């Protein structure tokens, strides 16, 4: 058995190409291109890099971007006022608030201020509730990117055991809910989980969503498992010890070039959906 690489770079490009095509058609018919507003608070260099990548990708597919940079000293109230303005602007189809915000910001309040119809990054509490209920909404980009990779490679999670390692509100928890929607039996693990190696060893699908370099060891992996790595840690490594684990897997995402590129193309895709005035189509 040879492990199959889940090529996020390739699928991401395919999605971007189709978005670019659609935007061409839109603009040819006289409509304005979709517009994504990005908000970066503070001076974190990694966050600045991420925002720049997103802005660049917008332009590459023919979208308009509005880049808002706020000082490190911004208050929650000031940030909410910026979001309110973007919510009210009929030309803005999507709003992305780059995570993490500086510590004085109530980031949850800021996320939740984003109008559900412009929450193309899928970060609001209400969108989490909706996805958990199987109701249409926009989905958190990284989990949805992983779902699209599964679909692209014909991997149906139904009836499979999935183990998600990490329970953050925009990654581990929604991924657990999306896999449950797709009829996997999901175990959600976290820092208080005991016997993690044994739990991971039962998984047909392993999701690394913990943000710790090579935290999930190759030894733990069941032969033939599908490995999805949403981690991107210093040293260009993910959350799974993929250099050794890939050989045991049936399918795996490389780092880089797996889940990472999907995150951006899903953001653009959902911005396009918003411009077309609909939510993300159901998973099934």
- Interface with a second copy by CB under 8 A: which residues? 108, 124-130, 132-133, 135, 158-159, 161, 167, 169, 173, 176-177, 180, 183, 185-190, 192-194, 199
Report the DSSP pairing between strands 185-189 and 251-252: unpaired
- Of 16, 35, 54, 248, which one is the catalytic site residue? 54
Q: Is 167 annotated as a binding residue?
A: yes
From residue 155, how far is each of 39, 53, 58, 133, 146 by CA, in Å? 35, 29, 29, 22, 11
- 3 alpha carbon, distance to own chain's centre: 24
Q: Are 268 and 16 in contact (CB under 8 A)?
A: yes
- Nearest distance in Å: CB 226, a second copy: 16
Helix, strand or coil, per DSSP, at residue 264: helix
Q: Is 159 annotated as a binding residue?
A: no
Assess whether 270 carries a catalytic annotation: no
Q: Which is nearer to a second copy, 120 or 189 (CB)?
A: 189
Q: Which is nearer to a second copy, 172 or 260 (CB)?
A: 172
- Nearest distance in Å: CB 240, a second copy: 19
Smallest CA-to-CA distance from 262 within 41, 56, 57 is with 57
Assess whether 217 carries a catalytic annotation: no
Assess whether 54 carries a catalytic annotation: yes
Q: Which is nearer to a second copy, 159 or 235 (CB)?
A: 159
Torsion sign across C-alpha atoms 130, 133, 138, 140: positive
Q: Which is nearer to a second copy, 30 or 194 (CB)?
A: 194
Q: Is 168 annotated as a binding residue?
A: yes
State the Cα–Cα distance between residues 225 and 247, nearest whole angstrom. 10
* Known binding positions for NADP(+): 166-168
Residues carrying an active site annotation = 54, 98, 121
């Amino acid at each position: 058995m040879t492990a199959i690489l889940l090529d996020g770079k390739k699928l991401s490009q395919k999605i971007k190409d189709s978005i670019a095509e659609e935007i061409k058609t839109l603009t040819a018919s006289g409509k304005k291109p979709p517009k994504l507003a990005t908000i970066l608070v503070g001076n974190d260099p990694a966050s600045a890099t991420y925002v720049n990548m997103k802005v660049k990708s917008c332009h590459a597919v023919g979208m308009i971007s509005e880049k808002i940079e706020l000082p490190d000293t911004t208050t929650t109230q000031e940030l909410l006022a910026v979001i309110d303005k973007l919510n009210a602007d009929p030309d803005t189809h999507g709003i992305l608030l780059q995570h993490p915000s500086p510590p004085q910001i109530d980031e949850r309040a800021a996320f939740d201020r984003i109008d559900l119809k412009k929450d193309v990054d899928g970060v609001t509490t209400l969108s989490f509730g909706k996805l958990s209920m199987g109701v249409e909404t926009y989905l958190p980009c990284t989990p949805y990117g992983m779902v699209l990779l599964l679909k692209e490679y014909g991997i149906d999670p139904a009836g499979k055991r999935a183990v998600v390692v990490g329970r953050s509100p925009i990654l581990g928890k929604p991924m657990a809910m999306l896999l449950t929607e797709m009829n996997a039996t999901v175990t959600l693990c976290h820092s208080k989980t005991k016997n993690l190696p044994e739990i991971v060893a039962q998984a047909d699908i392993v999701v690394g969503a913990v943000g710790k370099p090579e935290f999930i060891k190759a030894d733990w992996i069941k032969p033939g498992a599908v490995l999805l790595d949403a981690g991107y840690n210093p040293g260009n490594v993910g959350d799974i010890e993929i250099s050794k684990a890939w050989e045991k897997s049936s399918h795996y995402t490389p780092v880089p070039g797996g889940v990472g590129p999907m995150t951006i193309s899903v953001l653009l895709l959902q911005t396009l959906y918003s411009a077309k005035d609909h939510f993300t189509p159901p998973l099934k």
